[in-house]
Amino acid sequence: MKKIVVAGAGGFIAGHLVKELIKKGHSVRAVDIKPLNEWYQVSNEADNLVLDLRLRENCYNAVNGYNEIFNLAADMGGMGFIENNKAACMISVLINTHLLLAARDCGIDRFFYASSACVYNGEKQTDTNSPGLKEADAYPALAEDGYGWEKLFSERMCRHFREDFGITTRVARFHNVYGPHGTFDGGREKAPAAICRKIIDASITGEKDIIIWGDGHQTRSFMYIDDCIKGIQDIMYSDILEPLNLGSSEMVSINQLVDIVEDIAGFKLKRKYDLDAPKGVRGRNSENTLIKQYLKWEPSIPLKDGMKKTYDWIKEEILDDSKSKKQISKYNK
């Protein structure tokens, strides 16, 4: 049994990670800046702390006496959030910096950092037929402005803390993670959850149209949360020194993603394309040669299976009386 700190535990991915680590018998301290009643999942078996991890002193208090840190805390969201909040995204650099200093000074054995496909050079993502981004494609650096640069810098910092201070740091570059117990409204949601929400709202209100950001031909891959949680742990406890892609290589266009959700819902909507909405890069996929080589595994849960579980969860949340009134009126657009 290890003593593990999970940062960002009130969020989507870390909430699932805390549950899994507890299931494996570890002693977990879960930390997030949000009040406990706003956490997506609360594990009563964990030591749950509400702390702003941008502050150095809070990081030291959070990790003292523990063996390992998973840092998944960041001020982030989908394209709509990161394109309009670049400075806020970059301030997350304080979280990783202070957690690394605390790791060095408090004798932490292992440190995981959640990076992103947004570190990749934008010039390598201009084609919808993306062959997949190899880990080396992060350089020469031309990351997503704001959010992506912060991730690239923090990755680099993990590397130098390993080289200079001997901390075992591990880094994964997540490609679009989706699943239950995540954001599906409010402006920070990503495409899979946003599309589910719009189609569920339409099924309730009788709306006939769906608004899609961009022309719908932009491509992405999406990784189901269970694959992500397995990958995080396998990378954390591996010997892999360099940042590794953690993503599905099942690439689809946004139109194909809408097709999948419409099939699940059992009806179709008229598509309207908002060409002025934030769209991100034109084509992105995860190239998985290295993860297959190192771990003999890659994320493989089919998109349509994961989307079905995600859709069902979001539908249940929306149909919940207290939530439905708020969400349908606010976000049916």
List residues near ligand NAD by CB under 6 A: 8, 10-14, 32-34, 52-54, 72-76, 95, 114, 116, 174, 176-177, 183, 190
How far is C-alpha 240 from the chain's CA centre? 21
**Of 113 and 202, CB closest to ligand NAD:** 113
Q: For residue 73, what are its two tokens?
A: 């805390």
Partners of 286 in the β-ladder: 133
Cα–Cα distance, 39 to 18 (Å, whole number): 12
Q: Which residues on neighbouring strands pair with residue 237, listed in sequence order?
A: none
Q: How far is CA 111 from CA 1, 149, 260, in A?
A: 17, 20, 37
DSSP letters for 252-286: EEHHHHHHHHHHHHT---EEEEETTS----SB--B
Q: Quickly tell me which residue has 């139109």 as its tokens.
A: 255
How far apart are CB 161 and ligand NAD at their closest, in Å? 17
Q: How far is the CB of 177 from ligand NAD (least distance, A)?
A: 4
Angle subtended at Cα 172 by Cα 166 and Cα 176, rounded to the nearest 5 degrees: 160
Nearer to ligand NAD, 75 or 227 (CB): 75
Is the peptide bond prior to 131 cis by the omega test (within 30 degrees of 0)? no
CB 267, min distance to ligand NAD, A: 27
Q: Which is nearer to ligand NAD, 190 or 279 (CB)?
A: 190
Q: Does the annotation mark 147 as catalytic?
A: yes
Which residue's Cβ lies closest to ligand NAD? 11
Minimum CB distance to ligand NAD, residue 168 (Å): 19
Catalytic residue among 113, 147, 224, 311: 147
Nearest residue (CB) to ligand NAD, 246 versus 260? 246
3-state secondary structure of 213: strand
Q: Which residues carry out catalysis?
A: 147
